Amino acid sequence: MSASIYDIPIHRITGETASLSEFHGKVLLIVNVASQCGLTPQYDALEKLYSRFKSHGFTVLGFPANDFGAQEPGSNEEIATFCRATYSVDFPMFSKIAVTGPSTHPLYQSLIAAQPTATGPGRAGFRQNLTSFLAAKHNGIPTNPEPGILWNFEKFLIDRHGNVAARFSPEVTPDDPAIISAIESALKS
């Protein structure tokens, strides 16, 4: 990465200015999340993953985004309330940002530049199904071409030094063996 992710300004979901520097030395899973998506139940698996590995120096960081099918229309306060009430989310959540298009947040610009391609067993099939779904339900809203974020719940694994270790496409669930293995490997290094 050209600039350290630890230096990029962000805001907590409650509005306070923050940075990822407070997580320096930890393994991170950065996820663009949404409350009204078919993938929203991944919040449950993300919370379980966080609970399982947090004592080992791991955390999940949620960044709500309303870029895909307007599936995150709420305010930061509404998002926080939904996450706590529906999925008992305890991992850190941040203010809603753009993860695609001309207003892409600098954090996501940096993550995408560092890891332009996501992995996933059905990525091509997922993209095709998503394109068909969007054509039928959302007036053909296009999916983003590589290297852009494909949809909600794309995941970036960050090692203890702030480097992108892996990128997983949205259909790869947080409890997938590939993600678990990647986290365990990053925690050992």
The pLDDT tens digits along the chain (189 residues) read 346 999 999 999 999 999 999 999 999 999 999 999 999 999 999 999 999 999 999 999 999 999 988 899 999 999 999 999 999 999 999 999 999 989 999 999 999 999 988 876 554 555 555 555 555 555 555 556 566 888 899 999 999 999 999 999 899 999 999 999 999 999 998
Q: What is the dihedral of CA 110, 115, 117, 121, to 10 degrees?
A: -120
**What pLDDT is attached to residue 131?**
56
Residues 6 or more apart from 75 whose CB is under 8 A from it? none
Which domains occur in the chain, in start order?
Answer: 5-188 (3.40.30.10)
**What pLDDT is attached to residue 5?**
94
The shares of helix, strand and coil residues in the chain, as percent rounded to the nearest 5, are: 35, 15, 45
Catalytic member of 8, 13, 33, 37:
37
Angle separating helix axes 42-53 and 76-87, nearest 10 degrees: 80
Angle separating helix axes 177-188 and 42-53, nearest 10 degrees: 30
- The β-bridge partners of 28 are 59, 158
Beta-carbon count within 10 A of 142 CB: 10
Distance between CA 110 and CA 2 in Å, rounded? 8
- Whether 83 is catalytic is no
Distance between CA 117 and CA 168 in Å, rounded? 8
- On whether the pTM is more than 0.85, the answer is yes
**What pLDDT is attached to residue 133?**
53
For residue 169 the two structure tokens come to 């496409």
Distance between CA 155 and CA 24 in Å, rounded? 18
